[in-house]
Structure 1
Amino acid sequence: MNTIKRIDPRRPYTITAAGLRRITLGAVAEAGAMTGGDAPRAVHGGAAKPRRTTLTATRTILVAAHSDRGSLDEHARQTIAAAALIADAHTQVALLVFGEMKDDAAALGADRLIELPAFDRRVFAPESELQTLSACVAQIAPAHILLPDNATGDGDLGRRYAAYAGASVATHVVEIDPARVSVYIHARKSFATRALPDLILLAPGAVDTRLPFTGAGERIELPGTAADHAHGSTYVDLGIEEIDAAQVALEEADFIVSAGNGVTDVGAFERLAGAFGAAIGASRVAVDNGMFTRDKQIGATGKTVEASVYIAFGISGAVQHLQGIKDCRHVIAVNLDGSAPIVKRANLTIIADTQATISSLIDEVARARSPDSRAVAPAVTTAVEGVAA
């Protein structure tokens, strides 16, 4: 049975200046960023941002969020920005990350970073996370705690903590300033404002992440914040269930191989998709030629996809097709024509015969997964991840 990986709804992304969503898996610090001390950090265009404050902190605002493979999504970034914008010169912004953190915390506006790589956001461990958040609050005594108000972990953790600690809380906050928060009530027919509570769950889009300053970005460690999923847990995590690839819509697929008119051996192409565990897509030309069913068509007149990895075999890249893959994170093109429009969109282009490339990839995947290639497999995996980063 072929299995396929679904799109993770909690994967991080950013919004580009053109208004397009770009997934930020394994994101790294901004190019040209400086590190260390009070030095200003470089930003786009070569300008430098000053530190928000260099005064001694007497007060703390804590932001807590889950990361995905080392990166925070746009909603979490907005929450950090909100904390930085309401902090005064004697207030530090502490960021507690459940998971690995590869993003530049200073560029996001955080002064202190507490990274908890032992937590895996794919593991359901609400009690352990609540205990860790409580331990962190007990040690740094923040004036306010901010979390993204989402349905994928952070919002649940915030509500659990409010109930556990008896803290005052505001949810779905759409406006925030140093004195108050605002929310919609009565089915969005009314607007309510109140003083800053202990716990603030921020709605998406409430704050612009483009800050005019940076934070200190200092990494610190707190005792008693290690993950302990087994201790006292009343939940049993059954893990992630794999399903038949045919049951997953292209819009939900995280890895897609797509065929165009340059694919002549559909059987070999389907075997490659099975070897990769990827969903199958196609260009309009390939569908019109009867090679694939209409539900596989990707483009303006077909389906718009948001895969982390999209490999286009023998697709020239008409504007309609490019529109359908505009939100894909990594686009790899295999084509004989180095001037094809899809080459300009692709992050990596292989100028080679499509069928020969498909055949070689099938052989390489089989070789990497064979028992005799265990010593080679890690190197192959690293190479593939390097291409996708």
Structure 2
Amino acid sequence: MNNDIKRTDPRRPFIVTAAGLKRITLGEIGNGAMLQFSHGAHKDAVRPRRTTQPATRALLVAAHTDRGSLDDHARQALAAAALLADGATEVVLIAFGEFKDDAAALGADRYIELPGFDRRNFAPDEEVRALTACVAHFAPVRIFMPDNATGDGDLGRRYAARADASIATQVVELDAGHVASYAQAGRAMASRDLPDVVLLAANAVDARLPFVGAGEAVSAQGIVPAAKASVFVDLGIEEMDAAQVALEEADFIVSAGNGVSDIAAFEALAGTLGAAIGASRVAVDDGKFTRDKQIGATGKTVEASVYIAFGISGAVQHLQGIKDCRHVIAVNLDASAPIAKRANLTIVADTQETIKALTDAATAARAARAGGTPVVQTASVAEGVAA
């Protein structure tokens, strides 16, 4: 039996990269050029401008920001437009909310920041009105948006309905000529020509670009009309204790492994940070946490923006449970622990000292923001940091 045969991954037809369509196969590492570009030694390399030609047409990307930044899904939508644009086409980003990212590095040639449209506020009619105004001004050939449940997917559908525009949703396959989505519960593919509005599924595009855009800021004044009172009543967001949030829905998780001995201090840190609590299988088996806190292949799969792992070595089952987390921070005395390969940042330090230092620092920051001036003795965790 030949074990070198590579099999097509049935869950993903292909992914769009700067090198073209990348067919995903089991056992294949990936595109060598893109992997080389992602290494630390190449991150600071000067990337060329995608195009310097005068623009004769535009592709528009619209997405909400989260605390001033685009999330991975939104960056993939922006990359899709940049990868499909030719030399005479500019990529225009409409950022709903405060925007602090480097637009050029993300592939945008021009961008408009709309800080009045925060993701936490519900005003869909005014967002459609603003998007319609931007479309009228830039006259884009096509609009790209992430198809998510946090505002962008809803906005894209509302715009298409109001503008009577063609639309494709949950797009998992696209190139310069067509788009495709899963059909019949994933057993088939539905394909069509490129529509007016493309709502991309997550991970259909590689957001790492070997080029940059012009990154020119454009004032919304004179393009986007002044906002009116929305016909929708925004009831706001109900705040709740982070401990009550289901792990699958938590945006910030601190997780304990066998290396955490003081559970009370760990739980105090979670309360101070406002984070949900998770645990490794070993910690659950030892009776330190209930089974519903277990993260991994035999527990919960999480998608937190920030995941801090204290004293977790990183068995393959646990890594499977955190594969969709955006930023992973590992605190471990062993710099060669498996979780260090997955982590964006590894702190090589004593777990208990780090927990105490973080608790003190977070407490001091909260008090300072409230106007207090507490005196805090912070423990040293300067054992070294490995990226």
Percent of residue pairs identical: 63
Shift in CA distance, 374/343, structure 1 to aligned 2, threshold 3 Å: farther
Superposed displacement of residue 126, structure 1? 0.8
Alignment of 1:15-94 (within 5 A): 44=43, 46=45, 49-94=47-92
Partner of 2:108: 110
Partner of 2:234: 237
Q: Output the CA distance in 1 between the equivalents of 2:158 and 2:62.
A: 13
Contact 2:309 2:330 in 1 (8 A): yes
Superposed displacement of residue 140, structure 1? 2.1
Q: Output the CA distance in 2 between the equivalents of 1:212 and 1:264.
A: 45
Amino acid at match of 1:341: A
Q: Output the CA distance in 2 between the equivalents of 1:125 and 1:227.
A: 15
Partner of 2:249: 252
Amino acid at match of 1:287: V
Partner of 2:285: 288
Partner of 2:270: 273
Which structure 2 residue ranges, 5 or more long, are not aligned? 1-27, 31-37, 375-384
Q: TM-score, normalised by structure 2?
A: 0.70
Aligned partner of residue 94 in structure 1, secondary structure: strand
Aligned partner of residue 351 in structure 1, secondary structure: coil
Superposed displacement of residue 102, structure 1? 3.5
Aligned partner of residue 140 in structure 2, secondary structure: coil
Shift in CA distance, 358/103, structure 1 to aligned 2, threshold 3 Å: closer
Superposed displacement of residue 129, structure 1? 0.9
Contact 2:144 2:200 in 1 (8 A): yes
Greater displacement, 356-365 / 85-94: 356-365
Shift in CA distance, 74/260, structure 1 to aligned 2, threshold 3 Å: closer
Contact 2:335 2:346 in 1 (8 A): no
Superposed displacement of residue 374, structure 1? 1.3
Contact 2:171 2:179 in 1 (8 A): yes
Contact 1:118 1:227 in 2 (8 A): no
Which structure 1 residue ranges, 5 or more long, are not aligned? 1-16, 20-29, 33-41, 378-386
Deviations 1:210-249 (A, max 9, x none): 55543222222232456866x2311122222233445433
Deviations 1:98-152 (A, max 9, x none): 1233333334332211222332112111112111112212222223333233343
Contact 1:111 1:218 in 2 (8 A): yes
Aligned partner of residue 138 in structure 1, secondary structure: helix
Q: Output the CA distance in 1 between the equivalents of 2:192 and 2:117.
A: 35
Q: Output the CA distance in 2 between the equivalents of 1:286 and 1:184.
A: 39
Superposed displacement of residue 305, structure 1? 3.7
Deviations 1:240-293 (A, max 9, x none): 223344543333333333334454443343333333332233344433333332
Partner of 2:129: 131
Q: Output the CA distance in 2 between the equivalents of 1:206 and 1:238.
A: 34
Superposed displacement of residue 60, structure 1? 2.0
Equivalent position to 1:341, from 306, 325, 337:
337
Superposed displacement of residue 321, structure 1? 4.6
Aligned partner of residue 287 in structure 1, secondary structure: helix
Is 2:145 the counterpart of 1:163?
A: no
Aligned partner of residue 59 in structure 2, secondary structure: strand
Q: Output the CA distance in 2 between the equivalents of 1:224 and 1:173.
A: 33
Partner of 2:219: 221
Amino acid at match of 1:109: G
Contact 2:133 2:224 in 1 (8 A): no
Amino acid at match of 1:76: A
Deviations 1:179-198 (A, max 9, x none): 5555666777564434x444
Aligned partner of residue 165 in structure 2, secondary structure: coil
Contact 1:128 1:227 in 2 (8 A): no
Equivalent position to 2:139, from 138, 141, 145:
141
Q: TM-score, normalised by structure 1?
A: 0.69
Aligned partner of residue 163 in structure 1, secondary structure: helix
Contact 2:172 2:201 in 1 (8 A): yes
Contact 2:243 2:277 in 1 (8 A): no
Contact 1:368 1:376 in 2 (8 A): no
Partner of 1:374: 371
Contact 1:300 1:321 in 2 (8 A): yes
Deviations 1:291-336 (A, max 9, x none): 3323333445544444334444455555655554455413141x6x
Is 2:119 the counterpart of 1:121?
A: yes
Contact 1:170 1:200 in 2 (8 A): yes
Alignment of 1:274-353 (within 5 A): 274-315=271-312, 321=318, 324-328=321-325, 329-333=327-331, 337=333, 341=337, 344=340, 347-349=345-347, 351-352=349-350
Amino acid at match of 2:50: R
Higher RCO (C-alpha 8 Å, min separation 6) = 1
Aligned partner of residue 256 in structure 1, secondary structure: strand
Aligned partner of residue 110 in structure 1, secondary structure: coil
Superposed displacement of residue 172, structure 1? 4.4
Amino acid at match of 2:110: R
Amino acid at match of 1:66: H
Shift in CA distance, 218/18, structure 1 to aligned 2, threshold 3 Å: farther
Shift in CA distance, 219/291, structure 1 to aligned 2, threshold 3 Å: same
Aligned partner of residue 159 in structure 2, secondary structure: helix
Give the RMSD, CA atoms, in angstroms: 4.0
